Chain A
Amino acid sequence: MNPMNYVYLSSFLFAIGAAGVLLRRNAIVVFMCVELMLNACNLAFVTFARMQGNLDGQVIAFFVMVVAAAEVVVGLSIIVVIFRTRRSASVDGANLLKY
């Protein structure tokens, strides 16, 4: 199979994730969309590694997974705390850091 199809898939997934981040209000959904974007990137890295014939992309994919896992831990706990205090997980509700 043409490896370029994986690249198309990864761009498609990335676009879905980006659209989700920009458009959705629920923090959990936004968060999942971020994960989707990260995974789209991982897919692209692995694909490029395969196409170039070296392991660099695959190694970076592992790094991304590790960072993503750490981020999930911190991010989810923040969201939980926000939800507890405000009884809502809407990102638009949390705009205190404005001018």
Chain B
Amino acid sequence: MGTLLAAQSHQAAGASGVFSLTWLLVALPMLGAAVLLLGGRRTDRFGHLLGAALPGAAFVVGVIEFIALLGRDGSDRALSQHLFSWVPAGGFQVDVGLLVDPLSMCFVLLITGVGTLIHVYSIGYMEHDPDRRRFFGYLNLFVAAMLLLVLADSYLTLYVGWEGVGLASYLLIGFWSYNPAYAAAAKKAFVANRVGDFGLSVAIMIMFAQLGTVSFQGVFAGAGHLSEGVATAMGLMLLLGACGKSAQFPLQSWLGDAMAGPTPVSALIHAATMVTAGVYLVVRSAPIFELAPNAQLVVVIVGAVTLIFGAIVGCAKDDIKKALAASTMSQIGYMMLAAGLGPVGYVFAIFHLLTHGFFKAGLFLGAGSVMHGMNDQVDMRRFGGLATVMKVTWITFGLGWLAIIGFPGLSGFWSKDKIIEAAFVGDGWRPWVFGLAALIGAGVTAFYMTRVFLLTFHGKRRWSEDVHPHESPLVMTVPLMILAVGSAFLGLLLGPTGALKTWLEPVTGVPGDESTALPLWSLTVLTVVLVVAGAGLAWSMYLREEVPVTAPRGSWLTRAARVDLYQDALNESLLMRPGQYLTRSLVYADNRGIDGAVNGLAALIGGTSGRFRRLQTGFVRSYALSMFGGAALVVGAMLLVRL
């Protein structure tokens, strides 16, 4: 822990040389978004090209900086670029600055690299959409916001990127917002994210109130002064933010609906990058979590629950995108679990995040390619036997499938296995509960991913009559191939060589040598056995046996998993309906209560004066009488006072 604090709190060197270009990383895609969104129809002709070129340019900048970073000492790899003073108010001074360090560099390369591939793919995928330019504008906006998120050097700047990606996600989920269900899904995603943002806001407030600063450097330097209770509160609030963004339990319900967006969006935002921002936040805030073991425990629990939850849901979905979304949720659960384990898990959380970014993006894009050939059909029970007609998609998707289930040698094997091992580290009940959860999750993952793969590409053709599947154009398949290669070999490159571990050490610290509750070799064997069992079960259920076109009723668990284990029903009955009731009754109370009191007072005054008005009879006699009466009163009063 001591090394960790020292690592992140020491003064980052000022950016010079190639690092003074860091601002371009954010500015380039931002420029694209501005041109495409403000330029309107005028930019229709070249919008998609510009939209794909700018993230590409950012990727080039990223690679140059990465190489430059490699050339520096391990302890000297944090460089900050101060841009401008943003919010100066008394003791609250926030400057916009960018921080390049090994951790953010991982993300920069992932976001710009995978992002560029997905942009290229979208050129083909969105070819027939009249609003393709607007789509690229939103995508560029997303890339800019995501880069700002990971490059920020203070929590408040991070927050800007944090909500910026939320906005881009909202716009892209609702890209076809003329469909009311899609518009509702977009809103749901934004609101669920806002619940998380509430946590992040409060965490930032605690930082300022306690430490007087919100910059990473200042917060981590002062973290040692925090009491454990405060650190726990801060950690839990950060976790709430992470849960919202990363679709972790209990804020997970929006991710499935988010599949309403075009498939490249699902690949980029809801699989590879944005949803992993929560993991980034937890790893980045490691110095805070290190001080709050209870908060860490909650992180692990959230991760474990989500990974099982997502895996169960994934087994029952027939919509290919929703099955993949459930899988994403489950895989991020793995990352979250690892991030909660402390230094022993940080590296593997990021490792799995990177490999997952590749293979899940590949899987989603593959699914998009299938949908492209199948008239946007998403029901896997209507697929089958596509391996022969869509060869490239089949092979690339297959590589992604093998990677995610942890086939020995491919990316997922290296990263996921390490998380399972890390989960078994320690003593007491924890390694058994969390390790077993991770282990079982691996088996279930193998089952549902094999199911997806077999239902889509193998077995009998169950297509509806009017579809004529065909392979997608090169502009779509080339990104698929690149991602497939990445899915296969990225793990090999980074894992067994220890490259990533050394690379991230300055940020995540050096874990001590800790022994696992079971011997390492037995864990590997167990995992492989479970994976084979899961895949075999799927094979026997979905390839050997006939797959009905309409879903059978299924067991209670299947039925529950189809409706996301009743999470929407729960949210609806616990939050939405009482909320609606509350707002409606408040409207009634406002009209009748507060406004009613005001109007009642007005009516009372009006009524009283109406009654007094009746005294004006118009008869001279009565006026004269009241004058006499008045005069008599005055005289009487005078006499009374005189006496």
Inter-subunit contact B616/A98 (CB<8 Å): yes
Say if the beta carbon of B619 comes within 8 Å of chain A.
Answer: yes
Inter-subunit contact A97/B618 (CB<8 Å): yes
- Nearest CB of chain B from residue A15's CB, rounded to whole Å: 11
With a cutoff of 8 Å between Cβ atoms, the chain A residues found around residue B618 in the complex are: 94-99
With a cutoff of 8 Å between Cβ atoms, the chain B residues found around residue A95 in the complex are: 617-619
Say if the beta carbon of A9 comes within 8 Å of chain B.
Answer: no
Say if the beta carbon of A18 comes within 8 Å of chain B.
Answer: yes
0/1 per residue, B377-414, Cβ < 8 Å to A? 00000000000000000000000000000000000000
With a cutoff of 8 Å between Cβ atoms, the chain A residues found around residue B621 in the complex are: 21-23, 91-92
Say if the beta carbon of B628 comes within 8 Å of chain A.
Answer: yes
- Nearest CB of chain B from residue A45's CB, rounded to whole Å: 18
- Nearest CB of chain A from residue B301's CB, rounded to whole Å: 77
With a cutoff of 8 Å between Cβ atoms, the chain A residues found around residue B624 in the complex are: 21-22
> How long is the Cα–Cα vector from A18 to B619 in the complex, in angstroms?
15
Say if the beta carbon of A46 comes within 8 Å of chain B.
Answer: no
With a cutoff of 8 Å between Cβ atoms, the chain B residues found around residue A99 in the complex are: 613-614, 616, 618
Say if the beta carbon of B625 comes within 8 Å of chain A.
Answer: yes
Mark out the residues of chain A between 5 and 29 whose CB falls within 8 Å of any chain B CB in the assembled complex: 18, 21-23
Chain B interface residue bracket vs A: 10 to 19
With a cutoff of 8 Å between Cβ atoms, the chain A residues found around residue B617 in the complex are: 95, 98
Inter-subunit contact A30/B620 (CB<8 Å): yes
- Nearest CB of chain A from residue B629's CB, rounded to whole Å: 11
Inter-subunit contact A91/B619 (CB<8 Å): yes
> How long is the Cα–Cα vector from A92 to B622 in the complex, in angstroms?
10
> How long is the Cα–Cα vector from A94 to B624 in the complex, in angstroms?
15
Inter-subunit contact B628/A18 (CB<8 Å): yes
With a cutoff of 8 Å between Cβ atoms, the chain B residues found around residue A23 in the complex are: 621
Mark out the residues of chain B between 613 and 639 whose CB falls within 8 Å of any chain A CB in the assembled complex: 613-614, 616-621, 624-625, 628
Closest B residue by C-beta to A25: B621
> How long is the Cα–Cα vector from A23 to B625 in the complex, in angstroms?
10
With a cutoff of 8 Å between Cβ atoms, the chain A residues found around residue B616 in the complex are: 97-99
With a cutoff of 8 Å between Cβ atoms, the chain A residues found around residue B620 in the complex are: 30, 91, 94
- Nearest CB of chain B from residue A23's CB, rounded to whole Å: 8
With a cutoff of 8 Å between Cβ atoms, the chain A residues found around residue B625 in the complex are: 22
Closest A residue by C-beta to B623: A97
Residue of B613, B614, B619 most packed against chain A (CB within 10 A): B619
Can you sample 21 A-B contacts with CB below 8 Å? A21-B621, A21-B624, A22-B624, A22-B625, A22-B628, A23-B621, A30-B620, A91-B620, A91-B621, A92-B619, A92-B621, A94-B618, A94-B620, A95-B618, A95-B619, A96-B618, A97-B616, A97-B618, A99-B614, A99-B616, A99-B618
A-B CB proximity, top 8 nearest:
A98-B618, A95-B618, A99-B613, A99-B616, A91-B620, A98-B616, A97-B618, A95-B619
Known: A18-B628, A91-B621, A99-B616. 4 other contacts (CB 8 A): A92-B621, A96-B618, A98-B617, A99-B613
